[in-house]
């Protein structure tokens, strides 16, 4: 197999994590970033692959481009991986980039928002899209209170594999390169649907958590928990009606949730509450974007979204409180 030529769109936590493993697996890697971010990436960056070791490593040996003309010159690419948040995805900049990357590039869509995958398919044709689910946690180190060199850190839960779905001829080179680079990955029948189902359950609890000041211990309290569970049911009915009920049943048991949150502390290499607050504050615009889309979709389809709207209202109230006055 000749080296897979990959354009990584975004060099944030996920972009650097996937990029590290693809490079190790023998891919030729180019990051696309906004012009202001080019200098910070030149010459390599520090990363913390916490599943491999606690010692920092260097991510280096990649190219960096920052506009569609440079993408066209550096291409054509075999694979384009979109790691920007859902709210950043839809835009002329992305459409131009996809056109510049090459007429047959596989486009990997990792975004969790409703209809994100559809938007990508509308740009390049469904046959070129590979859907992926980000089954790991990545963040900009150091998290508050941790003594670690600045750089992206990541942790993959034990036995977790990055799932991808799409045409086998497009999925296999990606999966093989990631595996060769030390990241377990696998082909699955429908990563987009798995992602929609996971987001349907997870995002309401994240929004409820934000509404109680990110205090994990308060999440099982009746009020935030009831609102999150109601919203999870509504979103699931909207985007993943055929998904298994089990995650909802588990999250619906407040005692079980309390125990699960305590147990998670024992095996994660970072504090879950600190990571959750840092990550979802960073992608807060995406959370609001996703909830607004869920409400819109529910209205279009005549489905209930009272709890989703309730969470969106809470986030809006928080934003209003934070907004500078005068």
Nearer to ligand NAP, 85 or 173 (CB): 85
Q: How far is CA 218 from CA 201, 253, 321, in A?
A: 18, 14, 21
Q: How far is the CB of 240 from ligand NAP (least distance, A)?
A: 17
**CA–CA dist 273, 207 (Å, integer):** 13
Q: How far is the CB of 89 from ligand NAP (least distance, A)?
A: 8
Q: How far is the CB of 203 from ligand NAP (least distance, A)?
A: 9
83 binds ligand NAP, rule: CB under 6 A:
yes
286 binds ligand NAP, rule: CB under 6 A:
yes
Nearer to ligand NAP, 102 or 112 (CB): 112
Nearer to ligand NAP, 140 or 226 (CB): 140
DSSP secondary structure string for all residues of 122-190: HHH-GGGEEEE---SEEEEEPPTT----SEEEEE--TT--EEEES-HHHHHHHHHHHHHTT--EEE-S-
**CA–CA dist 134, 175 (Å, integer):** 13
138 binds ligand NAP, rule: CB under 6 A:
yes
Q: Which of residues 152-181 bind ligand NAP (CB under 6 A)?
A: none
Nearer to ligand NAP, 143 or 303 (CB): 143
Number of residues forming the site for ligand NAP (CB under 6 A): 25
Per-residue x/- marks for ligand NAP, 1-20, CB under 6 A? Answer: ---------xxxxxx-----
Instruction: Return the SS3 of 242.
Output: coil
Among 105, 228, 283, 298, binds ligand NAP (CB under 6 A): 283
Tell me which stretch binds ligand NAP (CB under 6 A): 99-107, 217-225, 281-289, 307-315.
Answer: 281-289
Q: Give me the residue label for tokens 């309730």.
A: 310
**CA–CA dist 85, 311 (Å, integer):** 20
Among 19, 25, 85, 163, binds ligand NAP (CB under 6 A): 85
134 binds ligand NAP, rule: CB under 6 A:
yes
Question: CA nearest 225: which of 196, 269, 267, 260?
Answer: 260
* Pairing relationship of beta strands 57-59 and 45-49 according to DSSP bridges: antiparallel
Per-residue x/- marks for ligand NAP, 229-268, CB under 6 A? Answer: ----------------------------------------
Per-residue x/- marks for ligand NAP, 92-131, CB under 6 A? Answer: -x----------------xxx-------------------
CA angle at 11 for the pair 130 and 153, rounded to the nearest 5°: 100
**CA–CA dist 236, 198 (Å, integer):** 9
Question: CA nearest 308: which of 116, 132, 137, 114?
Answer: 114
Per-residue x/- marks for ligand NAP, 31-70, CB under 6 A? Answer: --xx--x---------------------------------
Helices 222-239, 254-267: crossing angle, 10 deg rounding: 90
Q: Which residue is nearest to ligand NAP (CB)?
A: 12
How is the chain split among helix, strand and coil, in percent rounded to 5? 55, 15, 30
Task: Return residues touching ligand NAP (CB under 6 A).
Answer: 10-15, 33-34, 37, 83-86, 88, 93, 110-112, 134, 137-138, 279, 282-283, 286
């Amino acid at each position: 197999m000749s080296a897979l030529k990959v354009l990584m769109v975004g060099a944030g936590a996920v972009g650097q994590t996937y990029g590290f493993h693809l490079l190790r697996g023998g891919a030729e890697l180019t990051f696309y970033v906004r012009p202001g971010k080019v200098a910070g990436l030149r010459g390599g960056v520090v990363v913390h692959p916490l599943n491999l070791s606690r010692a920092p490593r260097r991510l280096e040996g990649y190219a960096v481009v920052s506009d569609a003309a440079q993408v066209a010159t550096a291409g054509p690419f075999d694979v384009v991986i979109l790691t920007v948040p859902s709210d950043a995805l839809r835009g002329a900049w992305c459409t131009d980039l996809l056109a510049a990357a090459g007429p047959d590039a596989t486009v990997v869509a990792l975004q969790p928002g409703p209809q994100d995958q559809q938007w990508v398919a509308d740009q390049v044709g469904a046959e070129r899209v590979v859907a992926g689910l980000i089954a790991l946690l990545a963040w900009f180190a150091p998290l508050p209170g941790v003594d670690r060199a600045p750089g992206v850190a990541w942790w993959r839960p034990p036995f977790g594999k990055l799932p991808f779905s799409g045409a086998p001829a497009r999925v296999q080179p990606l999966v093989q390169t990631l595996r060769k680079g030390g990241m377990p990955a696998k082909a699955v029948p429908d990563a987009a649907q798995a992602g929609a189902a996971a987001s349907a359950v997870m995002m309401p609890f994240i929004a409820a958590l934000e509404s109680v000041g990110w205090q994990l211990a308060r999440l099982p309290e009746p009020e935030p928990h009831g609102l999150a569970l109601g919203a999870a049911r509504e979103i699931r009915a909207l985007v993943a009606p055929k998904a298994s009920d089990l995650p909802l049943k588990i999250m619906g048991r407040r005692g079980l949730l309390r125990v699960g949150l305590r147990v998670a502390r024992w095996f994660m290499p970072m504090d879950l509450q600190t990571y959750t607050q840092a990550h979802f504050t960073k992608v807060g615009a995406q959370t609001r974007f996703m909830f607004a889309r869920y409400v819109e979709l529910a209205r279009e389809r005549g489905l209930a979204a009272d709890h989703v709207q309730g969470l969106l209202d809470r986030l809006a109230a928080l934003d209003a409180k934070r907004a500078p006055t005068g």
